[in-house]
């Protein structure tokens, strides 16, 4: 059943959901904290037990729209007094007889950004909780998952004119982009996905999201955007008979070719200075490191691109195949699981793939020669996994400011240590001087760096009072070091600390 996003019916549904207090915290309180945590693991029995015999609107809608359990028609009519069960059916979200059977889920999704907190209602196809497990349909429209939340948190919280959400799915990236953008164009090859996106835009009272059907950049040929965000169908799937190709995750190409096409082609659709952000997989193939292959894609762009690529995870072929076979609803140990695993491993072996990386890609259309070219692996826990956008924006601003500053200008600048930076000193027993001095971020990417006494002293002295040059001169006197050499060394380190967020301009 495909949604039919009628504006009047969506407005009525939104009014009824608001009246029922159909929000995350209310549902969590209704069925209990432990049961709520269990729903995140795909379990609905604890939540149903927590609701017990409650028949109020929140309980009825929680069972129907979150947990996927059919409800009596009279209870649904009472819970949705404006829309009614008939209206829910007209929207394509349920079948209404004596009982109302859900054909989609609607879940509250909280967000936090620089503008404050809020919550969306997001509709999508029935998931594992609602169906009780089993293989998904190939045209399944995914709701909000870990990857989509990661990308939503990565989006830059800075003003933008036109934004393109490429491969919109249920529309969460489009809604997130609209928090800072004047308008959003959301595209997808799946008409079901576009229907859900239109419904979710209406449900959240946002009329400035335009949907277009088509593959990759076809729907926006000849157009440019200030920002492009995409969680593309990057999952590497064998092109073999009997292996399902889920539209929400599989782009139909061999290996990581779809991510390559996006990286190579996105620059032509960015306005000067425009930024694209995406998630992706890339293969280490025939001895060529995955990050080096991404570097080659960026270099092959017809439009000069600056790049910041962060690899967060590196899996071997077996781990990768197991993860995505399970994601499709096929359980380990079954004959079907073994067939799919063999197909995945045959595909990787035939193409010489030894590892698969996952990570974040930020690309910017360069005005001149690209200055930012950063490729790095980060396997440490990231404290701001759900909200790195502000950190990325600050890092880009610091990079651009530093690009126009020589060492004299930097030395004249007044800096302060970021509020989240802490210092740890490690001593051997009985020795007064530390063997290791470590500076660590409590926010951003959670980086940790080793510092010598001069750098540690400088970061500690940056309190927004004296200029960097004056501080370095004082530290050189204190350490009885060569002032000129120390100045050159520390200013070079300061540049990196400003981009990484350990230091900020006053």
Whole-angstrom CA distances from 101 to 20, 69, 351, 488 are: 19, 7, 46, 70
Beta-strand (E) ranges in 382-486?
414-417, 421-426, 436-441, 448-451, 463-467
Distance of CA 326 to CAs 34, 37, 166, 353, Å?
24, 20, 26, 21
Instruction: Please state, in angstroms and rounded to a whole number, the distance separating the CA atoms of residues 309 and 377.
Output: 8
CATH number of 402-505: 3.90.930
C-beta separation of 111 from 119 below 8 A: yes
Residue 250's alpha-carbon distances to 167, 329, 446, 472, in angstroms, are: 11, 15, 32, 54
**Assigned token pair, 405:** 């500053």
CA distances from 211 to 16, 225, 228, 479, 486 (A): 26, 15, 14, 63, 56
**Torsion on CA atoms 192, 197, 199, 202, rounded to nearest 10:** -160
Cα angle value 7/8/14 (rounded, 5°): 90
Q: What single DSSP character describes residue 62?
A: I
CA–CA separation, 392 and 359 (whole Å): 15
pLDDT of residue 24: 96
- Give CA angle at 259 (253, 264), nearest 5°: 110
Pairing, β 353-365 against β 373-377 = unpaired
**pLDDT (0 to 100) of residue 36:** 95
How far apart (Å, rounded) are the C-alpha atoms in residues 6 and 83? 12
The boundaries of every CATH 3.90.930 domain in the chain are 402-505
Compute the distance between CA of residue 254 and CA of residue 186 in angstroms, rounded to an integer. 25
- pLDDT at res. 202: 97
Is the full-model pTM beyond 0.85?
yes
CATH for 127-381 (3.20.20.450, 1.10.8.60, 3.40.50.150, 3.40.50.1220) = 3.40.50.150
Q: Which residue has the tokens 């259309």?
A: 365
- The H-or-E segment that residue 173 falls in is helix 172-177
Closest to 99 measured CA to CA, from 130, 66, 64, 124: 64
User: Is the separation of the CB atoms in 190 and 129 below 8 Å?
Assistant: no
Q: Are 139 and 194 in contact (CB under 8 A)?
A: no
* Whole-number Å distance between alpha carbons of 250 and 254: 10
Nearest Cα residue to 265 out of 303, 308, 293, 214? 303
Torsion sign over Cα 142, 143, 147, 153? positive
Q: What is the pLDDT of residue 198?
A: 97
Strand order, beta sheet including 414-417: 463-467, 414-417, 503-505
Q: Which pair of structure tokens corresponds to residue 195?
A: 């229907």
Kindly list the averaged pLDDT for each block of 10 residues, start to end, along the chain of length 506: 94 98 97 94 93 97 97 98 98 96 96 86 91 78 90 95 97 96 96 97 94 96 98 92 86 92 97 97 97 97 97 96 87 89 96 97 91 94 79 96 96 97 85 83 94 95 96 95 95 97 96
d(CA 144, CA 287): 35
Task: Quote the pLDDT of residue 409.
Answer: 97
The predicted structure's pLDDT at residue 386: 56
Helix (H) / strand (E) containing 362: strand 353-365
Nearest residue to 441 via CA among 358, 354, 500: 500
Distance CA 383, CA 376 (A): 17
Cα–Cα distance measured from residue 229 to residue 249, given in angstroms and rounded to the nearest whole number: 16
Q: For CATH 3.40.50.150, list the domain ranges present in the chain.
A: 127-381
Task: Judge contact between 144 and 208, C-beta under 8 A.
Answer: no
Query: Cα separations (Å) of 162 from 186, 385, 463?
Result: 11, 26, 39
Contact 96, 21 (CB under 8 A): no
Q: Could you tell me if 64 and 94 are in contact, meaning their C-beta atoms sit under 8 angstroms apart?
A: yes
pLDDT for 251: 86
């Amino acid at each position: 059943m495909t949604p039919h996003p009628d504006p009047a019916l969506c407005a009525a549904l939104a009014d009824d959901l608001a009246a029922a207090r159909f929000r995350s915290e209310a549902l969590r309180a209704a069925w209990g904290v432990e049961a709520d945590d269990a729903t995140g693991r795909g379990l609905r029995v604890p939540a149903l037990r927590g609701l017990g015999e409650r028949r109020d609107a929140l309980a009825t809608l929680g069972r129907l729209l979150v947990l996927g359990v059919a409800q009596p028609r009279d209870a649904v009519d009472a819970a949705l007094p404006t829309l009614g069960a008939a209206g829910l059916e007209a929207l394509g979200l349920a079948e209404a007889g004596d009982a109302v059977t859900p054909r989609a889920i609607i879940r509250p999704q909280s967000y936090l950004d620089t503008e404050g907190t809020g919550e969306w209602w997001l509709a999508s196809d029935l998931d594992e909780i609602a169906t009780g497990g089993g293989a998904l349909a190939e045209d399944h429209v995914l709701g909000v998952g870990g990857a989509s939340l990661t990308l939503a948190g990565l989006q830059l919280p800075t003003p933008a004119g036109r934004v393109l959400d490429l491969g919109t799915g249920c529309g969460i990236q489009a809604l997130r982009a609209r928090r800072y953008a004047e308008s959003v164009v959301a595209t997808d090859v799946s008409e079901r996905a576009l229907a859900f996106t239109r419904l979710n835009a209406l449900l959240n009272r946002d009329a400035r999201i335009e949907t277009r059907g088509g593959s990759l950049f076809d729907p926006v040929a000849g157009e440019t955007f200030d920002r492009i965000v995409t969680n593309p169908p990057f999952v590497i799937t064998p092109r073999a008979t009997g292996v399902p190709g889920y539209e929400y995750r599989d782009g139909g190409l061999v290996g990581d070719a779809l991510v390559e096409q996006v990286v190579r082609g996105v620059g032509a659709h960015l306005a000067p200075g425009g930024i694209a952000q995406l998630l992706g997989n890339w293969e280490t193939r025939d001895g060529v490191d995955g990050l080096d292959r991404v570097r080659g894609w960026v270099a092959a762009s017809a439009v000069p691109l600056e790049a910041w690529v962060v690899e967060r995870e590196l899996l071997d072929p077996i781990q990768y195949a197991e993860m995505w076979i399970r994601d499709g609803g096929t359980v380990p140990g079954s004959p079907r699981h073994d067939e799919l695993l063999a197909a995945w491993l045959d595909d990787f072996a035939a193409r010489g793939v030894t590892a698969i990386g996952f990570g974040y890609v930020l690309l910017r259309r360069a005005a001149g020669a690209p200055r930012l070219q950063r490729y790095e692996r980060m396997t440490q826990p990231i404290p701001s996994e759900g909200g790195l956008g502000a950190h990325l924006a600050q890092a880009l601003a610091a990079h651009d400011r530093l690009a126009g500053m020589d060492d004299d200008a930097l030395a004249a600048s007044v800096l302060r240590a970021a509020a989240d930076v802490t210092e740890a000193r490690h001593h051997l027993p009985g020795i007064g001087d530390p063997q290791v001095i470590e500076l660590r971020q409590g926010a951003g990417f959670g980086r940790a760096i080793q510092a010598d006494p001069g750098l540690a002293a400088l970061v500690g002295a940056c309190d927004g009072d004296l200029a960097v040059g004056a501080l370095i001169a004082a530290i050189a006197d204190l350490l009885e070091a060569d002032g000129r050499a120390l100045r050159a060394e520390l200013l070079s380190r300061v540049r990196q600390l400003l981009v990484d967020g350990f230091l900020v301009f006053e």
